[in-house]
Structures are given as structure tokens and as C-alpha cells.
Amino acid sequence: MLYYIHKKVCARKDDGTMIKKESLKLTQEWDKTFPKSEKVEHCKVTFVNRYGITLAADLYVPKDTAGKLAAIAVCGPFGAVKEQCSGLYAQTMAERGFLTIAFDPSFTGESGGNVRYMASPDINTEDFMAAVDFLSLHERVDAEKIGIIGICGWGGMALNAAALDTRIKATVASTMYDMTRVNAKGYFDSEDSEEARFQKKEAMCAQRLEDLKAGEYKLGGGVVDPLPEDAPFFVKDYYDYYKTSRGYHARSLNSNGGWNVIGCESFMNQPILRYSNEIRNAVLIVHGEKAHSCYFGKDAYAAMTKDSKYADNKELLLIPGAVHTDLYDGGGKNAIPFDKLERFFTENL
């Protein structure tokens, strides 16, 4: 960037406001948990969020297309990487004519950000908005036709991004979690009391000091392994995806050491769905009827449409017989309603 002083051209001095992209080490071989499609072109790309963190993404472009395309950014699940189900969603939607990206959020996977394995309702919402920035400026994208898909914990983040980013014309939240709710209230709201929250906050504050003394952040552990015989079904469901050949990936937090113990601390008191009923553009919430997490989707839909002037383009779709991870990869029964997703984005982008 240049500016003129007394008719002389001077290089702008870096005062900390210049946008810089980090050089990331990206794996070039195909290392996804799903087969590579012959119907799309694939490459790795990077872009920067407004916190200066460089994000890594897989770009999928349908073959034999010309001109500008409608585009979709995909992320999730919470603790997964783009080589898992977000990539599957992105590649499949590209097969159906959309230009897509699946990206690793800040501090995880191949994306930048130090220290590793931290999460933030603010930064992770920004990650989606940075993906929209990238797509808006891409030469093959129609900037007026951009949508997003958030899976699991990133479903809630997608709704938060849609409430903030007016460029997002259509949003899908698939098998969603509200990560602020589950951190503040526990699973199934079983820890929804001031005392329970205080104890969790107290433990995390103590852990902060232990981490500083140790000189490193303690990992909280990914999906439990070995699997206890008396584990709840939803834990078995996660194990079946993240810890087996079905969905294991070496860079996935859930498949390995998990988030830092204090990695989700700020989710405790920063609810992300406060203004979801002000989302003007189309939203589709998809959930498995038998998923342990289904209450997140039902309640998010109810809150989004309550007293809203924009309820007519909102929809809740429940998939009969489907559990949480069936919407990760189909669960061996084609549970992901890709035909519906194609129609939704075609009609709303």
C-alpha cells in the first residue's frame, strides 16, 4: 500500500494495522476421512481473520463450470478438522454446483494461532466471517450468493455469524450444539445453577495458575479411550466416529488429546444466540430425531422464530431415526439430507 507525500511515493510504514498472512505448512496429499471426488477440483488455500490469524482451508470447485458461482463456507464439528465431516459436506456441495471451502478454525488443525487448542466464541465467529471475506473476493464467486454450514458446535457459531454478518444469505446448522449453553449449564442443563457454575469457574481459574507454573497448557483429553462399558450412548456415538477408522484423524482434537482444560473458559458467560431472532436471511436447522443434542436445535429454532419479523424463512428439519454423528458422515444410512441442502441453497442464494 502506498501513499504520497510532497509528490514522493513512500512505502507505508507498518504500524501494526497492515494485514499479513502467515506462511503455513500445509499437507498436500489427500488425507481426508472420505474418498476424493472426480467431479471437483481441489486445492489448499489460506486467508486471514481480523485478529491476524491465518486460517487453512480446502477449496472445492465443481468441474466443467464457468463464470461466477454461489459459494458456501463449512466448518465443524467442534474439535474436528476439515479433513473430517466439514470436508465431506464441502466436497458434496461442490459436486452439486457450489464453490465451497472447509476450513480449520483458529488454533486448530493446519490453521495458525498460538497457543494451540483454544476456543473463543468471538474469534471462532470471526473465523466464519473471515471465510466470507475470502469467498467475497474470490474471482469465481458471486459475492451476493454466499452461505455457510456449521456442524455440531459450529452450528451455533454459524447462527451467531449469521446474526452479525449481513453478507451471509443462507445458513445451515447441522446437528448443532450451543457451546455457550453446554459449558454454562452442562449436558441436558444438568448443571444449571449458580453454584455449579461457580465451581467450574473456580476450577478453571486454579488451572490457569497450574498451567503457568508448568509452562504449558494441560490438555483436557479427547473422546474417552478406552470406552467404559457403562458410557452413555452419546459418548459411545462419539467414540464410534472419532476413535475408529470411520472418522479418526491425526490432527483432530477429539480423536486425540482434546482441547486445553481452560480452552473453552470464555464460553461460560458469553451466550452466542442472543440476537438469533434478528437474522433476516434464510436458516435451516437440521437435527437427528434421536440425537442426544436435538434439544439444542429445537430450542435454537424456537428462540430464533419467537417474536421475530423474519420467521417465514426459518425451518427446523428432524431426520427420523438419526443420532448425532449420523449427520457427520451419513452414519452408513445416508442420513445427511444433501438433496434438501442443495434445494435450500439454490433457492436462497
Q: What DSSP string describes 27-56?
A: --S---SSPPPSSEEEEEEEEE-TTS-EEE
Rounded to two decimals, the pTM is: 0.95
Sign (positive or negative) of CA dihedral 249, 251, 252, 255: positive
CA–CA gap between residue 116 and residue 301 (Å, rounded): 33
| Cα distances (angstroms) measured from residue 128 to each of 131, 199, 224 | 5, 32, 29
Q: What is the pLDDT of residue 12?
A: 53
Q: How far from chain centre, in Å, is Cα 344?
A: 19
Strands 282-288 and 314-319 turn out to be: parallel
Per-residue pLDDT of 245-281, as tens digits, reads 999 999 999 999 999 999 999 999 999 999 999 999 9
Q: Tell me the DSSP string of 139-176.
A: TTEEEEEEEEEEETHHHHHHHHHHHH-TTEEEEEEES-
In the structure, what pLDDT confidence band is assigned to residue 232 with cuts at 50, 70 and 90?
very high
- Domains of the chain in sequence order: 31-188+266-348 (3.40.50.1820)
Amino acid at 121: P
pLDDT tens profile 190-215: 999 999 999 999 999 999 999 999 99
Q: What is the pLDDT of residue 151?
A: 98
- Looking at residue 93, its amino acid is M
Residue 343 banded pLDDT, cuts 50, 70, 90: very high
Enter the DSSP assignment of 128: H
Give dist(CA 136, CA 149) in Å, integer: 16
| CA 207 vs CA 96, 185, 211, 213, 262: distances in Å | 47, 20, 6, 10, 7
Average pLDDT over residues 21-30: 94
* Rounded Cα–Cα distance for residues 318 and 304 (Å): 16
3-class SS of residue 201: helix
Cα distance between the two ends of the chain: 34
Give the C-alpha separation, 161 to 286, whole Å.
Answer: 17
Residue 198 CA to residue 182 CA, distance in Å, equals: 15
> Mean pLDDT over residues 303-320, rounded?
98
Place of cell 497448557: 217
Task: State the pLDDT confidence band at 19, using cuts at 50, 70 and 90.
Answer: confident
